[in-house]
Amino acid sequence: MILLRIAIDGPAGAGKSTVARIVAQKLGYTHIDTGAMYRALTLEALERSIDLENQDALVAALEDMDLTLQPGSAGNQVFIQGRDVTAQIRSPEVSEHVSLVSSHPKVRAAVVEMQQQMAKADNVVMDGRDIGTVVMPDADLKIYLDASVEVRAMRRSMELAKKGFPVSLEELVAKIRQRDEFDSTREASPLRQAEDAVVIDTTNLSVSEVVDLILAYCRGRGGHV
């Protein structure tokens, strides 16, 4: 069997996007960062002053915005109508509002539909919150990455500082706790492990150790690695 579709889920800061990007590079698969899609919609809604509680308006904006993802060496590059918004979608303002936008069932249905179309077109490594449970329930390999909240906040803080958004560690711990709580308790496809997912606690592991573990699981499942 050749592995075609890998799902990587987990909470904010567990290392999903970094690990998914490297695993995809090593396998020659396409990496899709699904959080970036919810972030792009949030940015568009904020820029157009769309009411973030109005799911119909959000779905209409999604249909209009011509959202594209392009895998790159530093992660997915994200474009709205050809405009590169890769940096803006990581701003604290977008991070603050993205949980609300992604909690709406109609928004999720529309985004999941786009993701399923993408997964049909290519061999993919897709990372997010509901990939193994909703988007690709029949994925060939499902990974659930987790880590302590302190380590996740530390990783986010380094990532944000590099991107020019310095945020205090205490503030990040509080925000990540809040976002975890919101993402796990929302009604529409909350963050949870798929029953058949392999759980990896990345608290004390380096990125390359996590990547190697995932590649070993791929081999174990008969993938060509």
Chain residues in the site for ligand DC (CB under 6 A): 12, 34-35, 38-39, 98-99, 102, 128-131, 179, 183
Closer of 54 and 184 to ligand DC (Cβ): 184
| Shortest distance (Å) from residue 193 CB to ligand DC | 14
Closer of 18 and 225 to ligand DC (Cβ): 18
Work out whether strand 67-72 and strand 75-80 pair parallel, antiparallel, or are unpaired.
Answer: antiparallel
| Shortest distance (Å) from residue 214 CB to ligand DC | 17
d(CA 182, CA 179): 5
- Note the helical H segments in the chain: 16-27, 34-47, 55-64, 92-101, 105-121, 149-162, 169-185, 207-220
List, as one string, the DSSP characters of 58-69: HHHHHHHS-EEE
Closer of 154 and 225 to ligand DC (Cβ): 154
Amino acid, res. 67? L
Contact 49, 60 (CB under 8 A): no
| Shortest distance (Å) from residue 27 CB to ligand DC | 20
d(CA 48, CA 42): 10
CA nearest to 85, candidates 69, 101, 64, 107? 69
| Shortest distance (Å) from residue 160 CB to ligand DC | 11
| Shortest distance (Å) from residue 94 CB to ligand DC | 9
Closer of 54 and 178 to ligand DC (Cβ): 178
Closer of 92 and 225 to ligand DC (Cβ): 92
